[in-house]
Amino acid sequence: MSSKNLLRWTRFASDPHGTGPEKRSAQILSLCRDAGFSVDDIHPPAQISRWQTWTAGLGARLRHGNHASLDHAGIALLGYRTRFYQEALSAHRGARVLLWETTYDVLLPTLAKEAGYKIIALPHNLEALVSEQVFANPSYDPFSDLADEVHRLALADAIFTISKEERWLLEARGLAPHYLPFYPTAALAEECALIRNKRSAFALSDPHNPRPLLLLGAALNPATARGMSVQLGWLAEMGEGAPRVVVAGPETDTRLAAHRSPRVKLLGRIPRPPLVALLESCAALLIHTTGGAGAVTRIPEALLAGVPVIANANAARDQYDTPGVNLYNSPAEFRALALAPPSLPPVPLPPTAACTRFVEEISRLTALTPSQHA
């Protein structure tokens, strides 16, 4: 196999039209391919013998204690992960460079280093800070898990974060990460350009027929559902003067059913063509988040499509001062923005320098490692 063949571990499919994590994995895969690299994804086996699982799990627990994984996995799960990591690292034919997106445990980077791999960490977010325990368990201390996460990431030869804030935080802990913001793949960017052309071809503001606002996200994610519920509650308090809202995304029709009204349409999961039609016709995209980390991938995509964004400061954490992102810090500010006439935001520029730096790091680390051949 070619020395330009890389190994990758991600839990997510590389789908430029999928969820936020799937779009991020698609972006990383696209950058590699555009630079002439191929990528082999690790696929966990359907079955590993119980004996191998337990022996490997006991070894992992003795070696790393309770800090082997962020989810504090039991011996059986630790053993399962250890075995399929070992098999994937051994079976890979190509450059001994690992793209490490799913950064949940210390097992994979440890085993990869022992096997002679260079590691590029690409965490989709800092996992300790997005745990649901932050909301569900008042005694949970995310900074304890964050210390373990920093320890894991320190095993990488290069780190690329999706947000400026995470880069700053890791730098404060002594690491030297790079910044690789999310930007849609070429295929998705082309589709966004078509949506923008449609939006620029007609008047966005019509006092006799105001366009609906769009709430978009997967309500199966509790944090996403909470943010949607907050905005829908604020709009409901406006009574008959509230703008119309269309809500789309997995389980939005069930988990947000209490907000259904003549002015709120809950569509649930919808195919891509109707979603494109909503992006072409909506006034703005609404986003509200509390807690969390990473970056909201919907924002660059919406701006590229010519859709202005109305977001709280937390949701826009990686997009401060970006034209087209309208920030609010109170319910009153949110309602004022929701009633404001929409405008076409400028086209956001691709993060060319950051993408170049990513490819350069891959090339540098590939040159430092021998290839494994069949």
Q: Give tens-digit pLDDT for 279-305.
A: 999 999 999 998 778 888 999 999 999
Region class of 345: left (phi > 0), else alpha (psi between -120 and 50), else beta: beta
Rounded to 5 degrees, what angle do the CA atoms 336, 306, 287 make? 45
Q: What is the band of 38 on the pLDDT scale with cuts at 50, 70, 90?
A: very high
User: Tens digit of pLDDT for each residue in 212-237?
Assistant: 999 998 898 888 899 999 999 999 99
- If one counts every other C-beta atom within 10 angstroms of the C-beta of residue 205, the result is 12
pLDDT value at residue 321: 85
Matching residue, tokens 């960490």: 121
Q: Which of 28-42, 208-222, 269-283, 356-370 has the lowest mean pLDDT?
A: 208-222
Average pLDDT, the chain: 90
CATH number, span 186-339: 3.40.50.2000
Residues 85 and 21: their CA atoms lie apart, in Å, by 21
The answer to whether the beta carbons of residues 323 and 307 sit under 8 Å apart is: no
User: Tens digit of pLDDT for each residue in 142-195?
Assistant: 888 889 899 999 999 999 999 999 999 999 999 999 999 999 999 999 999 999
Beta bridge partners of 325: 309
pLDDT value at residue 176: 97
Residue at 232: amino acid letter: L
The answer to whether the beta carbons of residues 80 and 57 sit under 8 Å apart is: yes
pLDDT value at residue 81: 85
Question: How far is CA 211 from its chain centroid?
Answer: 29
Architecture per CATH, 5-183+352-372: 3-Layer(aba) Sandwich (3.40)
pLDDT value at residue 160: 98
Residues 227 and 137: their CA atoms lie apart, in Å, by 19
Two tokens at 96? 């001994």
User: Tens digit of pLDDT for each residue in 241-288?
Assistant: 899 999 999 999 999 999 999 999 999 999 999 999 999 999 999 999
User: Tens digit of pLDDT for each residue in 108-147?
Assistant: 999 999 999 999 999 999 988 886 666 667 777 888 888 9
Residues 268 and 266: their CA atoms lie apart, in Å, by 6
* Per-domain residue ranges of the chain: 5-183+352-372, 186-339
> Does 5-183+352-372 match 186-339 in CATH topology?
yes
